[in-house]
Amino acid sequence: MSVATYTVKGMTCGHCVSSVREEVGEVAGVTSVEVDLASGLLTVNSDEPIDAARIAAAVEEAGYELAGRS
């Protein structure tokens, strides 16, 4: 099992959180997604490490920006 934490910029409400969670959750290999609105933290659990570019693409698809990896 692999856990990666990222920071997402631009989220302002619960709908933002839901959008990010849904898009990242559709990335192949992701087993669970946690998003914290207050801190902007995105925690991705997966069976194996996932390329950060795939996570960034999913976050951008939801309409937000991946600010970095923690």
pLDDT of residue 69: 85
| 68 confidence band (pLDDT: 50, 70, 90) | confident
User: What is the CB neighbour count within 10 angstroms for residue 62?
Assistant: 21
Lookup: tokens for 34: 């946690």
User: pLDDT tens digit string along 26-67?
Assistant: 999 999 999 999 999 999 999 999 999 999 999 999 999 999
State mean pLDDT over 1-28.
Answer: 97
DSSP-H helix ranges across 1-70: 14-25, 52-61
pLDDT of residue 27: 98
pLDDT of residue 70: 78
pLDDT of residue 45: 98
